[in-house]
Amino acid sequence: MSTIAVLGNGRVGSNLAQALTTAGHEVTVTDRTPGAAADAARTAQIVINATPGAGSLERLTALREELRGKILVDVSNATTDGPDGLPANLIYSGSSLAERLQHALPDTHVVKTLNTMLFMVMTAPGQLSTSPTAYLSANDEQAKKTVTGLLTDLGWDPAWIEDLGDITTARATEAMILIVPHIIRRNGFTPFAVSLAR
């Protein structure tokens, strides 16, 4: 069992918090207010960033001391939205939110994952007719192992988890968000993941 703080109480954060609690973890979910986020991060072993990616870097950099030595699981995508509210462009073109977070928080183990699917698939991957993929990007191998354990607690088969390498590989999975709005416009919010077929 891990002590986990989920930053962000929207659909993504609430969904993850509920599933991780059901799996037996001690979970605190908080909104974006600095005080609440700092308190939650201070006492957690693992912190999950489920806040909107456009403001995540500033928000989490302010928690540098609270995040020191912790695992930060980043599931967000930093984008600007189009007129219909769906992602239109990457904010960190040529880089990624995860890379920026790791650079700003050198004493924190940033792990990028679960950012290539609709939120309901994060905690119920078996609902899809085709096996989905959860990609992992991180510099620290032990942090990746810990997060892999969390993913299996959420129902992810180890065969569905693809370790891409260090944190720089997150720019590839973050760029995958650009296909998502086109799929949603055609099919609505039907559960799907951008996955690897073998």
Model confidence at 32: pLDDT above 80: no
Lowest mean pLDDT, pick from 35-44, 103-112, 125-134: 35-44
62 Cα distance to chain centroid: 19
Q: How does residue 198 score in pLDDT terms, banded at 50, 70 and 90?
A: confident
pLDDT at 121: 97
pLDDT at 31: 79
Question: What is the number of structural domains in the chain?
Answer: 1
Residue 58 domain-assigned? Answer: yes
Phi-psi sector, 8: left (phi>0), alpha (psi -120 to 50), beta: left
pLDDT at 181: 93
pLDDT at 1: 82
Residue 198 domain-assigned? Answer: no
Residue 192 domain-assigned? Answer: no
Which CATH number does the domain housing residue 182 bear?
A: 3.40.50.720
3 DSSP β-pair partners: 26
State the chain's mean pLDDT as an integer. Answer: 95
Residue 194 domain-assigned? Answer: no
Q: Which domain holds residue 172?
A: 3-187
DSSP 8-state code for residue 193: B
